[in-house]
Amino acid sequence: MVNVKGSNKLFKATIAATVAAGAFVTAAPVYTKAAPEITELTDLEKEQDYYEAVKILLERGAIKGFPDLTYRPYESVTRGQAAKILAHFLDLDLKNVENPRFVDVKETDEYYTAIAALVEKGIIKGYADHTFRQNEPLTRAQMAQMVVLGFELNVEQSEVIALPFIDVDESDAFAGYIQALANYDITKGVSENQFAPNAYVTRGQMASFITRGEAALAIPEVSGEIVEVEEDKVVLSTGTYYIPESLKGIFKPENTDALQGAYVDLKKDGKVIQSLTELILVGSTDSTKELKLDGGGTEVHGNLTILGDYHLVQNLKVAGDLTIYESSPNQTYANDLVVDGETHILSKIEAEEVKAANADLATEALPFSVSVTNANATVANEEGGGTVTFTSSSLNTITASQNGVTIEVKEDTTFKDLIVEENATLNADYGYLFPSVTLSKAVTELTANVEIENLITKGEEAVTIHGDGRVDLMKAYSTAPVFIDLPGSVNILEIHNPDAKISLGRKTLVGHLYLPLLTDVKKVIANYDDIARNIEMIDGEIHEP
């Protein structure tokens, strides 16, 4: 893998390393402050493929050219020259080096310290007969090894990308290095399917190798719209990238319909996807066509957004946030979905804002009734209504800001707290216990057909709490009127504000009532005279009305 920590230094090093290797001339040092302008070099023209690459290297002072103001792009570079350039650009220690003891390299040789430093770093080894052959031309295969090892490029991609060159066998010693150059788009070969590993590296080629290497390493993230999903690669509007085994659960042909037109952010290593950091699914306007995305247990390392109708998302883990936009009476289901971040189920108005900001992703219809499994949720919709069902879910805090939303939990769902900011209905499987429900902001009605362990009122509006449920502990902090009309009991009712205004329904029983200090029960229980017999104990003592 690329060494990120030292990448900035290595980027610069790469560019100068390879190109400079070709640019280095014994009679004229490459490293000089007085590099000529590219227009001063008489054998370069703008139409040449490597023109811009040579220009970049000249501007950075990485190469100088020859004294006669030529660059000689078709001349080869020697192994010694390449070693010197690479060592300089990797900023290796050229003073404290250990003699590699090549029989043909003396300590007084011009390239000795560079060769010794590269050997010490494991970038070069020399030949089996203990020679380095510093004056021999550098082959393209040897160049591949030096560049890949020098800049710590990933050579372990053979399981993802097949070798693109017919003149390089997988068993060849340099095969992995050549494949890495192709993966990072540092080389495209001498033709569509040939690399020419034994050909010599020209100075023009070296310039292109380096600048392409820098460009590839400098852009580890890409974004685009999914155009096509194939067996081993995904085609984006911005390029084609290979799919590792860890992401084949998402990027597989069976998910093509759901992924068609989706927007993604990817982290990549060369042309191989490393992680999926953003996935935005766009919906279908065809109610007869369900868009199924089965992740097969794969993980989205960032956020998942569902922007549309008729989706079924399942068997997927989301390390970031899940956002579902809804507006029409259609459904989006998420089954066996694990979300580490928060889940937001938002309104049509908010969805339209997203659509306006992402015009290419806009669709006519957006989901309304949503069933989500294993998520943290924020539910919001100004139009009212809608149902959110959590099945076998693992949740943290659910914030429901959608007016009239029905929140339903099934099977072994767990969550930490439900914050209700607009009117809502709570449903659950028989025997399910809501651990905590907090009423805040503009709630005026809560229909609780469930058992609630802790119910807290902090709302700003008068609220009615009714339904078929019961409450173990209720804490009233609000000064706005609260009417509790539950046929089941409120085991403990704690009133924390002496200005509270609590009313009880005729069928609502309170086991233990706790009042603020020095507060008369009739002051806080508005209809005390009518329901006095419904209260069993007050402040720890048996209540005798």
DSSP string, 214-233: HHHHH--EEEEEEEEE-SSE
Lowest mean pLDDT among 304-308, 514-518, 521-525: 304-308
Q: Please give the pLDDT value at position 218.
A: 76
Q: Please give the pLDDT value at position 477.
A: 95
Split at pLDDT 50, 70, 90, the class of 81 is confident
Instruction: Look at residue 332 and give its three-state secondary structure.
Output: strand
Residue 447: CB atoms within 10 A of its CB come to 18
Q: What are phi and psi of 321, to 5 degrees?
A: -100, 150
Q: What are phi and psi of 148, to 5 degrees?
A: -65, -45
If one compares 387 and 374, the residue with the highest pLDDT of the two is 387
- CA-to-CA distance for 264 and 266, rounded, in angstroms? 6
Please choose, from the candidates 341, 334, 335, the residue with its C-alpha nearest in 3D space to the C-alpha of residue 306.
Answer: 334
Q: Where are the beta strands (DSSP E) in 52-186?
A: none
Listed ranges 35-49, 350-364, 432-446; the one with the highest mean pLDDT: 432-446
Please choose, from the candidates 177, 209, 201, the residue with its C-alpha nearest in 3D space to the C-alpha of residue 57.
Answer: 209
State mean pLDDT over 332-359. Answer: 63
State mean pLDDT over 117-144. Answer: 94
Split at pLDDT 50, 70, 90, the class of 343 is confident
Q: pLDDT tens digit string along 202-237?
A: 888 877 777 776 776 777 899 999 999 998 899 999
Q: Please give the pLDDT value at position 344.
A: 75
Q: pLDDT tens digit string along 5-18?
A: 333 333 333 333 33
327, with CB counted inside 10 A (0-12, 13-18, 19+), is: buried
Split at pLDDT 50, 70, 90, the class of 53 is confident
- CA-to-CA distance for 211 and 499, rounded, in angstroms? 73
Rg (CA), the chain: 35
Q: What are phi and psi of 134, to 5 degrees?
A: -65, -20
Lowest mean pLDDT among 22-31, 325-334, 420-429: 22-31
Q: Please give the pLDDT value at position 88.
A: 74
Label the pairing between strands 272-282 and 263-269. Answer: antiparallel
112, with CB counted inside 10 A (0-12, 13-18, 19+), is: buried
Q: pLDDT tens digit string along 433-468?
A: 999 999 988 899 999 999 999 999 998 899 999 999
DSSP 239: E
Residues 174/152, Cβ–Cβ less than 8 Å: no
Sign of CA dihedral 150, 156, 160, 163: positive
Q: Does residue 375 carry a pLDDT above 50? A: no
Q: Please give the pLDDT value at position 405.
A: 77
Q: Does residue 372 carry a pLDDT above 60? A: no
State mean pLDDT over 288-307. Answer: 86
State mean pLDDT over 182-195. Answer: 87
pTM of the entire structure?
Answer: 0.68
Please choose, from the candidates 484, 473, 491, 479, the residue with its C-alpha nearest in 3D space to the C-alpha of residue 527.
Answer: 484
Q: Please give the pLDDT value at position 396.
A: 79
If one compares 26 and 375, the residue with the highest pLDDT of the two is 375
